[in-house]
């Protein structure tokens, strides 16, 4: 899932400057799980803004809605009615959702209400850890099921650097050393031989370094004709 | 083709080698490097020029290497993976080689969080082992990593570092083996205070026969005070400083003299460790003490054959 964190209220208020009729948009997917932008958070933010408006005499019109999934157009279109008369959206969806919302409402000012942090998972309630670097060329089968790109602070591919100590990374005593985890995992799997393999320079083209990534699933792409038939059917 | 550097000749001849570190200044004045080079000339076989060590911006490693060449002392140009991708690394190798730099040292580099540019985006396109592979390919196959032929291949004597005090300890010898497999001709280690652990590391090195495949220069760093020892223990990444060392510095009447004495004793001991082919002296911000240390350790005069 995508991990995000809500921006401070004051930052959101500053970005809002000059806009009166605002829709706060939450998302029931990842941001709800990491307690950054689900229905509850959208409600709290909208209420805080209404309170602020009242106290400061801003006269804002603030409403809120929570989408099933803000990263898919079909779900975003469902907020059509709620958008009536609005000139700004505060997106509590991740950066992906915020952009899909913009795609559907290109003329409306979309304010990012969260910072999108990483692809990760909850460790325990309230604690979320980055897990995947999205490099486009997965090596988890070689690294004991632990991603060196995301979980080593330097994305090293040939084992821990000299800064690994007592299982911790040199950048911070609270951060586990990704390669220490990989070493232990491979040891448990009886695959320490993999630690000896010299891994050549990585092809970073499938990663973000290769430029914008567009994935085409050819068999799923509809022809113009199929699109017409589908539209007529709806 | 290897560079046939002075350092390589010393190591290949079986003599106990000495390298020393020069930290380039935090400014544009080359005289700092020049002064150190003049002061230490003849006391080491080659001199490492650090590459923005601890991620603090300093005069560049290649430029400081050139100043050393101008002074007639042989540089070891350090090249960290933190700040350059494979394009910049290969370009710098060609440039430095063209101007006479023969020894190059591949290292990952401290994370930028330690330095004075904490908000920087790091690179780490390559890790230190991959950097060795790239440089070896340029040298031995006359090609860039992408496969294009080089009009003139660089001549390089290829170095790497190893930290016997990093964890997991059991992986430190295999990691050294990977560096040897990737092309390292010589290795310089992190500074040694924990001799027990270093000797266990060297046992592992000899068990795998690595001491016959690569020249290992053991790192030493003279301590100025107990405070410095404490700092190294707590703040410097990947260091092991036993309490006995800190206590010895704490109880010393003249801590600076004690630091030098300890450093010389360490070198004397390292000379007896099988598989150690030299020492690497890192007198950080205390370079002026290198001649004294080398002399006291019975490693002076050096046979220098720089062209």
* pTM (predicted TM-score): 0.95
Q: Which residue of A has its CA nearest to B183?
A: A198
CB B171 within 8 A of CB A159: yes
Q: Is residue B307 part of a domain?
A: no
Instruction: Give the model's pLDDT for residue B303.
Output: 73
Residues of B in contact with A164 (CB under 8 A): 166-168, 238
Residue A189 sits in the same domain as residue A93: no
Q: ipTM value, please give it.
A: 0.94
Q: Give the residue from A89, A118, A147 where a domain finishes.
A: A118
Instruction: Give the model's pLDDT for residue B85.
Output: 98
Q: Is residue A166 part of a domain?
A: yes
Instruction: Give the model's pLDDT for residue B281.
Output: 98
Q: Is residue B1 part of a domain?
A: no
Pick B108's closest partner by Cβ from A154, A172, A196: A154
Number of domains within chain B: 1
Contact A162 B133 (CB under 8 A): no
Distance from C-alpha of B27 to C-alpha of B78, rounded to nearest angstrom: 18
Contact B163 A162 (CB under 8 A): yes
Q: Which residue of A has its CA nearest to B176?
A: A196
Contact A198 B181 (CB under 8 A): yes
Residue A223 sits in the same domain as residue A153: yes
Instruction: Give the model's pLDDT for residue A230.
Output: 86
Residue A48 sits in the same domain as residue A109: yes
Number of domains within chain A: 2
B296: left (phi over 0), alpha (psi -120 to 50) or beta: alpha
Instruction: Give the model's pLDDT for residue B235.
Output: 84
Contact B190 A154 (CB under 8 A): no
Q: Mind telling me how many Å the CA of A163 is from chain B's nearest CA? A: 4
Q: What is the CB neighbour count within 10 angstroms for residue B296?
A: 17
CATH number of the structural domain spanning residue A95? 3.40.50.1860
Distance from C-alpha of B77 to C-alpha of B50, rounded to nearest angstrom: 7
Q: Give the residue from A118, A142, A164 where a domain finishes.
A: A118
Preceding peptide of B168 cis, ω within 30°:
yes
Mutation site for B-interface testing, chosen from A146, A149, A161 by largest number of B Cβ within 10 Å: A161
Q: Report CA Rg, chain A.
A: 22
Tokens, residue A181: 């985890």
Residue A155 sits in the same domain as residue A104: no
| A222: contact with B, CB 8 A cutoff | no
For B36, the domain range is: 6-296
Q: Is residue B305 part of a domain?
A: no
- Taking residues B219-230, report their average pLDDT: 96
CATH number of the structural domain spanning residue B215? 3.20.20.220
Q: Is residue A26 part of a domain?
A: yes
Q: Which residue of B has its CA nearest to A186?
A: B171
Contact B133 A165 (CB under 8 A): no
Digit-coded pLDDT (tens) for B83-95: 999 999 999 999 9
Q: Is residue B209 part of a domain?
A: yes
Residue A105 sits in the same domain as residue A19: yes
Digit-coded pLDDT (tens) for B123-157: 999 999 999 999 999 999 999 999 999 999 999 99
For A77, the domain range is: 2-118
Find residues 101-140 of chain B whose CB sits inside 8 Å of chain A: 108, 110-111, 113-114, 122, 124-130, 133-134
- Taking residues B175-192, report their average pLDDT: 98
| A173: contact with B, CB 8 A cutoff | no
Q: Is residue A123 part of a domain?
A: no
Residue A166 sits in the same domain as residue A205: yes
Digit-coded pLDDT (tens) for A190-231: 999 999 999 999 999 999 999 999 999 999 999 999 989 988
Q: Mind telling me how many Å the CA of A212 is from chain B's nearest CA? A: 18
Digit-coded pLDDT (tens) for A126-178: 999 999 999 999 999 999 999 999 999 999 999 999 999 999 999 999 999 99
Q: Which residues, 6 or more positions from A65, have their beta carbon under 8 angstroms from its beta carbon?
A: A23, A24, A25, A26, A42, A79, A82
Q: What's the mean per-residue pLDDT of chain A?
A: 96
- Taking residues B12-39, report their average pLDDT: 97
Residue A19 sits in the same domain as residue A99: yes
Q: Is residue B303 part of a domain?
A: no
pLDDT at position B236 over 90: no
Q: Is residue A128 part of a domain?
A: no
Residue A79 sits in the same domain as residue A158: no
Instruction: Give the model's pLDDT for residue A198.
Output: 97
Confidence of residue A234 (pLDDT cuts 50, 70, 90): low
Instruction: Give the model's pLDDT for residue B305.
Output: 54
Q: Is residue A125 part of a domain?
A: no
Q: Give the residue from A118, A147, A180 where a domain finishes.
A: A118
Q: What is the CB neighbour count within 10 angstroms for residue A29?
A: 23
Q: Is residue B73 part of a domain?
A: yes
Q: Is residue A126 part of a domain?
A: no
């Amino acid at each position: 899932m995508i991990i995000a964190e809500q921006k401070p209220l004051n930052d959101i208020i500053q970005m809002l400057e000059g806009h009166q009729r605002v829709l706060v948009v939450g998302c029931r997917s990842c941001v709800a799980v990491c307690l950054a932008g689900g229905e509850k958070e959208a409600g709290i933010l909208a209420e805080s803004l209404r309170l602020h408006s009242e106290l400061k005499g801003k006269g804002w019109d603030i409403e809120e809605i929570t989408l099933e999934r803000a990263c898919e157009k079909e779900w975003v279109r469902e907020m059509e009615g709620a958008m009536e008369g609005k000139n700004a959206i505060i997106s509590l969806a991740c950066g992906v959702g915020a952009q899909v919302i913009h795609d559907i409402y290109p003329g409306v000012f979309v304010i990012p209400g969260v910072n999108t942090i990483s692809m990760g998972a909850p460790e325990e309630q309230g604690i979320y850890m980055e897990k995947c670097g999205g490099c486009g060329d997965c090596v988890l089968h070689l690294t004991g099921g632990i991603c060196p790109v995301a979980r080593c602070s330097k994305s090293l591919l040939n084992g821990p650097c000299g800064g690994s100590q007592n299982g911790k990374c040199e950048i911070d005593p609270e951060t586990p050393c990704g390669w220490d985890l990989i070493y232990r995992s491979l040891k448990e799997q009886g695959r320490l031989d993999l630690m000896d393999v010299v891994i050549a320079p990585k092809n970073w083209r499938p990663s973000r370094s290769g430029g914008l990534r567009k994935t085409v699933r050819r068999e799923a792409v509809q022809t113009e004709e199929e699109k017409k038939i589908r539209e007529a059917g709806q | 083709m290897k560079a046939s550097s002075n350092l390589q000749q010393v190591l290949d001849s079986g003599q106990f080698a000495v390298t020393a570190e020069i930290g380039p200044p935090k400014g544009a004045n080359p005289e700092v490097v020049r002064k150190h080079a003049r002061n230490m000339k003849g006391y080491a076989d080659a001199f490492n020029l650090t590459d923005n060590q601890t991620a603090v911006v300093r005069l560049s490693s290649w430029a400081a290497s050139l100043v050393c060449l101008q002074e007639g002392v042989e540089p070891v140009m350090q090249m960290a993976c933190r700040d350059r991708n494979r394009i910049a690394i290969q370009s710098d190798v060609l440039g430095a080689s063209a101007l006479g730099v023969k020894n190059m040292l591949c290292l990952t580099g401290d994370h930028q969080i330690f330095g004075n540019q904490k908000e920087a985006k790091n690179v780490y396109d390559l890790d230190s082992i991959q950097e060795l592979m790239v440089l070896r390919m340029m040298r031995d196959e006359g090609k860039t990593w992408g496969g294009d032929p080089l009009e003139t291949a660089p001549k390089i004597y290829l170095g790497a570092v190893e930290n016997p005090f990093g964890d997991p300890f059991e992986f430190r010898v295999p990691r050294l083996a990977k560096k040897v497999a990737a092309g390292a001709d010589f290795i310089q280690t992190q500074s040694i205070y924990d001799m027990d652990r270093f000797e266990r590391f060297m046992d592992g090195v000899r068990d795998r026969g690595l001491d016959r495949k690569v020249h290992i220069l053991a790192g030493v760093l003279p301590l100025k005070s107990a405070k410095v020892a404490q700092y190294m223990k707590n703040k410097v990444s990947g260091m092991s400083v036993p309490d006995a060392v800190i206590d010895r510095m704490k109880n010393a009447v003249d801590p600076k003299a004690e630091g030098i004495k300890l450093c010389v004793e360490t070198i004397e001991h390292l000379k007896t460790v099988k598989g150690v082919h030299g020492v690497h002296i890192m007198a950080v911000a205390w370079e002026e003490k290198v001649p004294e240390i080398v002399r006291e350790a019975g490693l002076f005069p050096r046979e220098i054959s720089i062209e």
